[in-house]
Structure 1
Amino acid sequence: MATPDILKLPPELVLRVSSLLTTTDLCAFRASCKQIEAGLFDSFAKEFFSKRQFMIEQVSLEVLVGIANHKTIAPYLKEVIICLDYLGPSHGFNGRQKIKGHVKRGALIATGQARDMLVDAFSNLPNLRTVGLRDYNAAGRLRDGENVLWRSYGWSTGMSVNARLNVLREGRHRRIETETPDEALPLILFALGQAECRPTNLEVFLRRQRLPDDAFNVFTAQMQPKIEPLLPVLKTLLLSLNDRPGFGAGPTPTNPHADSHEHLKQFLRRTPLLEHLRLNFLSDESDADDIISWLGEPNYPSAPTPTPGSTQFSHLTTLDLGMLNVQPQTLLHTVKQLRLTSLSLWKVSLRDNTSPNTGDRGVSTWKDFLQELGDNIPRPLDFTYFKIGFPSHVQGPNNGTLTDIRFAGNTTTDQNGVTKYEDLQSQVSYRKYFGSDVRTWLRDLKQGTYVEPVEPHSDSDHIDDDEDNSDNESGIEEILLEDDEDNDGE
């Protein structure tokens, strides 16, 4: 039998041909010949199995368990994402389970089946490094078209062919039905602990909801022995937080001194090797002075004035903060105490309680912040990356008049000595190169700081900004969730 012409091509050309195929055609191509299958398997497994997304539904978790127990594929799976979507009315279930031999999601969780299936899977994934939680489907599946998303396994279960095609056509513009995240996180952590699995990265990306403080209340007599051993090995922790009254433990009229981040602090205290921390809040009205200040506290409260790196997070080098307001001195103090080499501030409002909120005052607050930061970064430290996106100034702790701050790409002075700000930018960044210095960059940035007044804002203005932006467009994920859109799993 004559050898097919395609087998005479160099392996790299066969790979190039396969990269131009849709997923359906790629599967057919792989099935056409054992030699082609063998030549494509490694690239195929890396593309489709290094990072996978699942629902807490029996039909989806069965696939996760199957992958974990497949001796050839399991070593490729390095990142498991649990999405909060579920089989709901859009699939035709309307609360009744119609898959023979499968239980409803509620029963799956209540009986412990979901936990046991996760334990089974986590126990058999030798190279698992990252576990994630999210409430949206990510883009990046370019093999099948610009609008096709990476979805959870089993997402189309129970759908008619027409309904499935409609979802595919709507792509990123379709919202998925999701559960709340506060119960999913403890479930994932407990399963990891019971499986004695030790991933180094825990990533929570949420657009529609955030984790209340109660989600971190996992140090009970039953859960602590399983979960606590997980935390000392964590190096990356990315969180989406909700600190609004009514959503978690927080100040109330009967207890005005309650700590709104009590359980989160307990959680973070157990992560001594943390290198990368990201805190994304619900909106830029979130008061974060308490948790930001706490991050810069020394190891021992009775210690003398701490030097950089003497905090409880001595390994922390990357800090990302998003959607919050904070007093500038609080943020300055913490940044100076940590040994950071990378800092991202996204939709951060500097809050000033001392004077009326005018445009001049907003500019002054940010200029003073940039000046002090540039002057007071300890000399042993040197930032390799610094980013500020959509900064603002707000007067008072909540619902003050918001003043947007912009940075001029160029400033000129006219014949009357008036400074003109040109090429205004809402995002600026610094990346170290030979001969550069972040202190000089901060001082130059100060000179181009400019005010852009806006109307007083409501809750929905900013919450919707975060929810509705698609995966790689403007919004909180564009800056703080970089490199998150590849190979998520169908």
Structure 2
Amino acid sequence: MPLVDLPPELLLRISAYLTTIELGNFRLISKHVENTIFDSFAREFFTKKQFMLEQVSLQALVDISNHPTLAPRLAEVVISTHVFPSDHELATPCGKAMYEAGYASHDVLLATGQALNMLSDAFSKLPNLRTIGLRDYNGRGRFRDGDLATWKSWAWSFGWEDMSAYSPAGQFLRPLVLISPEAILPLVFYALGQAKVSPESVHIFLRKHARLTPRSFDILNGYLGEKVRPVLGEIKELMLAIGPDTPQSYFRSDPSNGHGPATDAPLTRLLERTPKLETLRLNFDPRQSFAARFLDWLGDPVSGQAHPSTSLVTQPVLLPRLSALELGMLSISADVLLKVLTKFDLQSFSLWKVTLDDVSESGEEDHWQPLLYDLAAALPQSTRLKSVLIGFPSHTCRGVVPFRSGPRLEDPVFFKPIGAGAEGTYNTSDLAQEVKHHAGPGTSMKVWLEELSTRTIVKRQEDISDVSDSDEEAIHDDIEDDEDDEDDENDEDDDEDE
């Protein structure tokens, strides 16, 4: 039987085993083959795409937005912090190709506003755009090209295709460099505002050292500030990775001394204009005091009618629809953390690499135990809380003053196995640094949190060698979305404890 006469299900089965290059050739066999596998091809390669702030890459985004069939399929656009290296002497194939094609460099695109206009033009023609992302890495999940293949930015290999050392998988060739993400987020928001497009989700995943700074959220002022407000008003999911305002701001001040209006106001003013927000994820940097000050503000109760702030003095925020809160990579006092977790009517929360900064020379040995107990007591009987994840908790070592300059010393907190309780016996190898729980029908999160408080145990720095390191590979810098790029689903286990 000729290949073109095979039933559609067999053609789709065959296409699943082909590499990307082979799949492209397979589509050229006939119109029948192309029509049969096009939906599968478009769903895999055009539902979510990553682009660089380079002319050749942004032009591809514009071309996709002008395509009558592909434009409606593109639901998630990711902007990468990767760019081509500066190459004024045409020392690389990429630099030579850029020059011969007459393309402007990324710094010219940003300085002249061309990047803003190209993004705005593309966004305005994507009718089903639901998610905007920013990242500094290539996502996993491109299995058809091998276990090491990743989803790279469009045009990442520009100028290198004809080189003998070129590798389609890109495992050895890295012609890209990274730029700071600080100014990219305002650029994306201004482009959305200019295009009058309001996606539901904003995902910022940054694994390198460069993070967003508080200045990245100063998007409500200036010429385009008014156009950003409608965009913020429709956001339901906001995931941010925030670093220090400046390198000198590490250990700058104790959060108990009050807020820092000049640095805190941009983010607080942004959140004030997200009344539909349902999910908030904040990954910080544990070397800064901004996180503690910001969360202290976030947990403040709202008295009377809340009004958007118009100055550096911001008012408490209500966030009436917030149901999921995820916090990672920060140092905070137990009182502030408890205040934040109990202010909102949450259905789930995650705490990843959170350090409690309450310990003094005469303090208690474990501040996580009373925190979990107090949280269980503070939750109402009618709580909607159903899902909790706590990973790699710690607290400042005894005698170490929080936010003072110098290296931070932290004692890790572990969880004893179920049934061990306060007096139960257990093996050291059974200790875990990550627990998660999903309360099923007829079960109570209050009971589980209270029981978990009896299973916390501190291991001093000199004792942690006795603990099994079997979970070491599970440590990530951030709370992050590990479904990566094959699809938009994030299937989490509903098991009660792990």
Same fold (TM over 0.5): yes
Residue 376 of structure 2 corresponds to which residue in structure 1?
Answer: 374
Alpha-carbon distance change, 138 to 418 in structure 1, aligned in 2, over 3 angstroms: closer
Residue 7 of structure 1 corresponds to which residue in structure 2?
Answer: 5
Within 5 A, what are the aligned runs for 1:257-272? 258-259=260-261, 260-272=263-275
Residue 311 of structure 2 corresponds to which residue in structure 1?
Answer: none
Deviations 1:381-406 (A, max 9, x none): 23221000000011432344210001
Deviations 1:401-439 (A, max 9, x none): 21000111256599xx78545411111100122232211
Give the superposition deviation at 1:166: 8.7
Residue 25 of structure 2 corresponds to which residue in structure 1?
Answer: 28
Alpha-carbon distance change, 72 to 432 in structure 1, aligned in 2, over 3 angstroms: same
Within 5 A, what are the aligned runs for 1:468-487? 474-477=475-478, 479-486=479-486
Alpha-carbon distance change, 93 to 218 in structure 1, aligned in 2, over 3 angstroms: farther
Task: Please say if residues 252 and 289 of structure 2, whose CA atoms lie closer than 8 Å, have aligned partners that are also in contact.
Answer: no
Task: Please say if residues 387 and 428 of structure 1, whose CA atoms lie closer than 8 Å, have aligned partners that are also in contact.
Answer: yes
Task: Please say if residues 328 and 353 of structure 2, whose CA atoms lie closer than 8 Å, have aligned partners that are also in contact.
Answer: yes
For 2:141 and 2:458, the matched residues in 1 are separated by 36
Match of 1:177, as an amino acid? V
Match of 1:370, as an amino acid? L
Within 5 A, what are the aligned runs for 1:273-312? 273-283=276-286, 288-300=291-303, 312=318
For 1:115 and 1:298, the matched residues in 2 are separated by 38
Give the superposition deviation at 1:292: 1.2
Task: Please say if residues 7 and 36 of structure 1, whose CA atoms lie closer than 8 Å, have aligned partners that are also in contact.
Answer: no
Residue 397 of structure 1 corresponds to which residue in structure 2?
Answer: 402
Residue 57 of structure 1 corresponds to which residue in structure 2?
Answer: 54
Residue 188 of structure 1 corresponds to which residue in structure 2?
Answer: 188
Give the superposition deviation at 1:243: 2.8
Give the superposition deviation at 1:283: 3.3
Relative contact order, CA 8 A, sep 6+: which one is greater?
1
Aligned match for 2:327, one of 321, 327, 336: 321
Deviations 1:254-297 (A, max 9, x none): x9963332211111111111000000012366552221122223
Give the superposition deviation at 1:161: 2.6
Deviations 1:99-138 (A, max 9, x none): 4221111111111111111111001000000011111111
Give the superposition deviation at 1:252: 8.1
Task: Please say if residues 322 and 480 of structure 1, whose CA atoms lie closer than 8 Å, have aligned partners that are also in contact.
Answer: no
Normalised by the length of structure 2, the TM-score is 0.84
For 2:402 and 2:99, the matched residues in 1 are separated by 50
Task: Please say if residues 284 and 347 of structure 1, whose CA atoms lie closer than 8 Å, have aligned partners that are also in contact.
Answer: no
Q: How many residues align?
A: 455
For 1:413 and 1:314, the matched residues in 2 are separated by 37
Give the superposition deviation at 1:451: 1.5
Give the superposition deviation at 1:218: 1.5
Give the superposition deviation at 1:33: 1.5
Give the stretch that moved more between structures: 12-21 or 109-118.
Answer: 12-21
Q: Give structure 1 stretches of 5+ with no counterpart.
A: 304-309, 457-468
Q: 1:67 is paired with a residue of what secondary structure? A: helix
Q: 1:242 is paired with a residue of what secondary structure? A: coil
Alpha-carbon distance change, 156 to 94 in structure 1, aligned in 2, over 3 angstroms: closer
CA RMSD of aligned residues (A): 3.1
User: Would you say 1:177 and 2:180 are equivalent positions?
Assistant: no
Give the stretch that moved more between structures: 372-381 or 189-198.
Answer: 372-381
Residue 337 of structure 2 corresponds to which residue in structure 1?
Answer: 331
Residue 228 of structure 2 corresponds to which residue in structure 1?
Answer: 227
Task: Please say if residues 404 and 451 of structure 1, whose CA atoms lie closer than 8 Å, have aligned partners that are also in contact.
Answer: yes
Give the superposition deviation at 1:473: 5.6
Aligned match for 1:446, one of 450, 453, 456: 453
Alpha-carbon distance change, 413 to 326 in structure 1, aligned in 2, over 3 angstroms: closer
Give the superposition deviation at 1:175: 9.8
Task: Please say if residues 413 and 420 of structure 1, whose CA atoms lie closer than 8 Å, have aligned partners that are also in contact.
Answer: no
Give the superposition deviation at 1:177: 1.6
Residue 426 of structure 1 corresponds to which residue in structure 2?
Answer: 433
For 1:73 and 1:374, the matched residues in 2 are separated by 49
Q: 1:133 is paired with a residue of what secondary structure? A: strand
For 2:6 and 2:151, the matched residues in 1 are separated by 34
Identity %: 37
For 1:351 and 1:86, the matched residues in 2 are separated by 39
Residue 111 of structure 2 corresponds to which residue in structure 1?
Answer: 110
Match of 1:320, as an amino acid? E
Give the superposition deviation at 1:187: 0.8
For 1:249 and 1:418, the matched residues in 2 are separated by 41
Match of 1:113, as an amino acid? Q
Task: Please say if residues 85 and 175 of structure 2, whose CA atoms lie closer than 8 Å, have aligned partners that are also in contact.
Answer: no
